[in-house]
Amino acid sequence: MTEHTLSLDEALALSLNVLEKNGFSSEHAGAIARNIWKGQRDECHSHGLYRLLVCTHTLKSGKVSPDARPKVHDAAPGLVRVDAKGAYSLLSFETGLPILAEKARKQGIAALAINHCYHFSALWPEVEAIAAQGLVGLALTPSHSWVAPFGGTKGVFGTNPLAFAWPRPGQNPFVFDFATSAAARGEIELHRRAGKAIPEGWAVDTEGHPTTDPTEAMNGAMLTFGGHKGSALSAMIELMAGPLIGDLLSLESQAFDEGAGATPYHGELVIAIDPQVFMGPSADLHSARAEKLFEAIVDQGARLPSQRRYEARARSEASGTVSIPKQLYRDILTLLD
């Protein structure tokens, strides 16, 4: 067997142990471990236990604070800022979420700007947490300048993910979360670790030629999805989660890294909308209309975004286990030495 199986409890305990052993405070370790655990539970392998290697490397590079306390600033009736002060974003998000939700219910819409943070995680856990509050959620963030614009061959954009969640009564929310690059950076790294070629259209090499070699891709530039459409969306995310909130572009994050190979350093913009306020007295009617849209999709055999992930979650919860490659498990255990 090439896989190592852990119980869900073991996976969370391993994450906490590795993070605390390597110097993260208990609060940061808890926030990071919960996010990693969710990724592994949902079989999002590029954002699961593999990320323990990334987090500890970034800490050892001296680039991330292991214990900075988030600082909250009530910036406006519809805006809360949380300064991560050079730490990972996840504790800042958990700190700011209750305030964001309260503001959204009062104003109908509100934004959370997380500044000066390192960000490695998927965004769906964040928008799912917003949907759990009965709110519509939107999240976006830049990264390092790994991705070439449409028609170019040199990195300008980050992988620049965009995530959205719509709460649904009595069932999982409608959620999508995708990079505006053709694939997540972590997916290319997992292909490299497994000795597998990447699909065509994901990247170019250092000379700007298409490549299926993951190492060449990591040294060259990734590509946006959908050509000029993904490129435009990526530029929008750079602007909204960069200059708009007073934080770094992906190009600036890459320069700040100074070759350390650490997790990207920048900001994150999270928006919450209260459908009850927007829909008014007819909220139940309009929610039912939304459900008809979802029915029209699935009734013809199409899938909703995140359906595979929810199915993976159900499998993991039913079995009480997750599995990762044995080599990855051995690599993680070395972090406890």
What is residue 177's three-state secondary structure?
A: strand
Q: Which residues lie closer than 8 Å to 284 by C-beta, 6 or more apart? A: none
The rounded distance, in Å, linking the Cα atoms of 258 and 253 is 9
The answer to whether residue 25 is catalytic is no
* Residue tagged 């050509």 (tokens): 227
- Nearest one of 232, 200, 223, 231 to 213, comparing CA atoms: 200
* Amino acid identity for residue 107 in this structure: Q
Catalytic one of 20, 27, 46, 102: 46
- Nearest one of 170, 85, 169, 179 to 124, comparing CA atoms: 179
User: CA angle, corner 241, sides to 110 and 89, nearest 5?
Assistant: 80
Catalytic one of 94, 187, 216, 238: 187
The answer to whether residue 187 is catalytic is yes
Say if CB 321 and CB 7 are below 8 A apart.
Answer: yes
Q: Which residues lie closer than 8 Å to 25 by C-beta, 6 or more apart? A: 66, 67
Q: Which residues lie closer than 8 Å to 139 by C-beta, 6 or more apart? A: 123, 126, 127, 161, 162, 163, 268, 269, 270, 271
Catalytic one of 28, 47, 119, 144: 47
The rounded distance, in Å, linking the Cα atoms of 173 and 166 is 5
Q: Is 134 left (phi over 0), alpha (psi -120 to 50) or beta?
A: left
The answer to whether residue 46 is catalytic is yes
DSSP-assigned beta bridge partners for residue 266: 117
Active site residues: 46-47, 187
